Structure 1
Amino acid sequence: SYGFEEADMDRPIFIDYVLGMETATMRQIIEVVEKTYCDTIGVEFMHIADPEEKAWIQERIEGPDKEVSFTLEGKKAILTKLIEADAFETFLAKKYTGTKRFGLDGGESLIAALEQIIKRGGALGVKEIVIGMPHRGRLNVLASIMGKPYQAIFNEFQGGSAAPEDVQGSGDVKYHLGTSADREFDGNVVHLSLTANPSHLEAVDPVVLGKARAKQEFYDNDRTSVIPLLMHGDAAFAGQGIVAECFGLSGLKGHRTGGTIHFIVNNQIGFTTAPHNSRSSPYPSDV
């Protein structure tokens, strides 16, 4: 307690709006800090060198009224997406037992998060989102986010093609394939482009960044019009050098995209390797 006694807990202290309050008691400060940093969502921002960027984040997460909350309709929408994602994985596991599918089991909240990004992005003027992701959860994203018909996905499991007339050359596995679609929320249309990728983990990252940058050129270099969004596995993000290379290019004039949204699906294992044997840092995001 750093020398504070019970009598000190309710004494007002001038804190100059650090937590959105001019004055606060120790009890109030502890309550706000615990809600901000000890709940279900964590925020890392103290490493940011730009004080204005740091203050922008701090202002939006710290304070007695900054708790994340959802309306009843919002909660129902999230639940619906979670049920859809879970039911999809459950069906595939039962129907195609033993078949490679790289399920999203345990990471279904990714689907609800992607849905919100598309909706919120459209409201803020985003025109396109360029997506890159590994095998893990790809089929679920194709179905739940990109709107690929379930019939087409199931046909691929049975050795067929989603669109036989589109097949050129030798066949490819279903979790390498990309697609594009338009999603509309509240009258705002956002074009989604899921980039095709090979088996080589994270190789799609610079492709997505370059594609997003090229698309921004067509919007008069408006960085807010096109968002690159990358999804990763925990082991691949920490272990593949191309991730750090892309971060190294992110601030350069000829490569910057205005920022990239990253998701790390942390299922605690890379192939057969546990986290403590695969990286030197506590979190996979510590690149």
Structure 2
Amino acid sequence: MGNEPQNFIPQLTDQEGPQPGPSWERRGWLDTLADSASDLTSAMDPTEMRLAVAKSAKDAGKPADPKAVEKAAALSIAAMQLVRLYRVRGHMAADLDPLGLSDREGPTDLTLEWHGLAGKENEDVYVGGVLGMEWTTVGQLHQRLREVYCGKVGLEYMHIADTEERRFLQDKFESPGETIQFTPQGKKAILAAVLRGEQYEEFLAKKYVGTKRFGLDGGESMIPALEAVIKHGGSSGVREIIYGMAHRGRLNVLANVMAKPYRVIFHEFSGGSANPEDVGGSGDVKYHLGTSTDRSFDEISVHMSLVPNP
């Protein structure tokens, strides 16, 4: 290196033309500061700084009213609390009584009054993408929540620990255009499947009192749901489905989904032995048994197996 470090600064001052480095971009900048009111001193003066900020704000436009910002934030918070409660408790206000036999009111915390939003139906509110909306009015938000969570189908899902599963259900329910439109024939088919499952459980409860069976009571919609899986899977190229399930509802699935003959099931309830050709597995209770069968939907055959449990 030699004397290069000691000669570096003198060499810079001797160079002609534009000098490297920002300090030499403005020649004579020190003299300018001395002759004027000192830009550097002014920049460090709090008074001058406030004036500069005020001028910048004036150039940018009228600043937002702090009270208006606070009011808009409070409105958004109240709206999101309303959304949260509908997600948690909206199913309790679902319209599940088509005959109108009961006269019950929904939870009071699902009302606009509870959240201090009554009379603000026409006010704009920011909801950040909830229900597919960025901005909406309080009234439109409330109406949409009622349509999603308080219609003919109730959804209780916020207790699900798995975030991905919970968000999947939420997106399917809340996203516009995700609603499935059933034909009258399709609705009748769903009703028939639900009734088959319910009547089967009622018959077993009366005919075989005290027999362990782990009924499907309360989950009858699983029967048409599984049939929909079979039908949709078959149309998508699925040719074999293997079910593994716990005790609850197995007897109903055996009879109404796997099409195991009722006479065989009732024979087993009466103490008869299971036919090895029709039944898989063994056990002292009927819901441990499994079976295999073929079912056809729209002329497409799908082979299904319900594995024994345990």
TM (norm. structure 2) is 0.51
Which digits, 9 at most, give the CA deviation of each residue in 1:201-231, with x for residues without a partner? xxxxxxxxxxxxxxxxxxxxxxxxxxxxxxx
Rounded Cα–Cα distance in structure 1 between residues aligned with 2:282 and 2:123: 74
Alignment of 1:188-267 (within 5 A): 188-198=300-310
Counterpart residue number, 1:250:
none
Deviation at 1:74, TM superposition (A): 1.8
Q: Does residue 97 in structure 1 map to residue 209 in structure 2? A: yes
Alignment of 1:18-97 (within 5 A): 19-20=131-132, 24-37=136-149, 40-43=154-157, 48=163, 60-63=172-175, 65-67=177-179, 69-97=181-209
Sort the Cα spacing of 1:167 and 1:18 in 2 relative to 1 into closer, same or farther, 3 A.
Answer: closer
Q: Residues 32 and 64 of structure 1 are in contact (CA less than 8 Å); yes or no, is this contact kept in structure 2?
A: no
For 1:118, what is the secondary structure of its paired residue? helix
Rounded Cα–Cα distance in structure 2 between residues aligned with 1:71 and 1:171: 42
Q: What's the Cα RMSD here?
A: 3.7
Q: Residues 15 and 21 of structure 1 are in contact (CA less than 8 Å); yes or no, is this contact kept in structure 2?
A: yes
Q: Does residue 143 in structure 1 map to residue 255 in structure 2? A: yes
Sort the Cα spacing of 1:115 and 1:170 in 2 relative to 1 into closer, same or farther, 3 A.
Answer: closer
Q: Residues 152 and 162 of structure 1 are in contact (CA less than 8 Å); yes or no, is this contact kept in structure 2?
A: yes
Deviation at 1:77, TM superposition (A): 0.8
Deviation at 1:164, TM superposition (A): 5.6
Rounded Cα–Cα distance in structure 2 between residues aligned with 1:81 and 1:178: 21
Rounded Cα–Cα distance in structure 2 between residues aligned with 1:184 and 1:84: 18
Rounded Cα–Cα distance in structure 2 between residues aligned with 1:9 and 1:188: 52
Q: Residues 280 and 290 of structure 2 are in contact (CA less than 8 Å); yes or no, is this contact kept in structure 1?
A: no
Rounded Cα–Cα distance in structure 2 between residues aligned with 1:170 and 1:15: 56
Sort the Cα spacing of 1:14 and 1:186 in 2 relative to 1 into closer, same or farther, 3 A.
Answer: farther
Higher helix share: 2
Which digits, 9 at most, give the CA deviation of each residue in 1:48-83, with x for residues without a partner? 479xx96x8766432455445432212211111111
For 1:120, what is the secondary structure of its paired residue? helix
Aligned partner letter, 1:151 = R
Consecutive unaligned residues of structure 1, counting only runs of 5 or more, are 199-287
Rounded Cα–Cα distance in structure 2 between residues aligned with 1:81 and 1:33: 29
Aligned partner letter, 1:26 = V
TM (norm. structure 1) is 0.55
Sort the Cα spacing of 1:8 and 1:103 in 2 relative to 1 into closer, same or farther, 3 A.
Answer: closer
Sort the Cα spacing of 1:134 and 1:61 in 2 relative to 1 into closer, same or farther, 3 A.
Answer: closer
Aligned partner letter, 1:90 = E
Rounded Cα–Cα distance in structure 2 between residues aligned with 1:29 and 1:127: 44
Larger radius of gyration: 2
Rounded Cα–Cα distance in structure 1 between residues aligned with 2:279 and 2:174: 52
Deviation at 1:115, TM superposition (A): 1.6
Consecutive unaligned residues of structure 2, counting only runs of 5 or more, are 1-74, 79-114
For 2:131, what is the secondary structure of its paired residue? coil
Q: Which has the higher contact order (CA 8 A, sep 6+)?
A: 1
* Between 36-45 and 165-174, the greater mean CA deviation after superposition: 165-174
Sort the Cα spacing of 1:26 and 1:160 in 2 relative to 1 into closer, same or farther, 3 A.
Answer: same
Rounded Cα–Cα distance in structure 2 between residues aligned with 1:167 and 1:144: 15
Counterpart residue number, 1:157:
269
Aligned partner letter, 1:148 = K
* Count of residue correspondences: 195
Rounded Cα–Cα distance in structure 2 between residues aligned with 1:124 and 1:23: 39
Sort the Cα spacing of 1:15 and 1:163 in 2 relative to 1 into closer, same or farther, 3 A.
Answer: same
Q: Residues 251 and 287 of structure 2 are in contact (CA less than 8 Å); yes or no, is this contact kept in structure 1?
A: yes
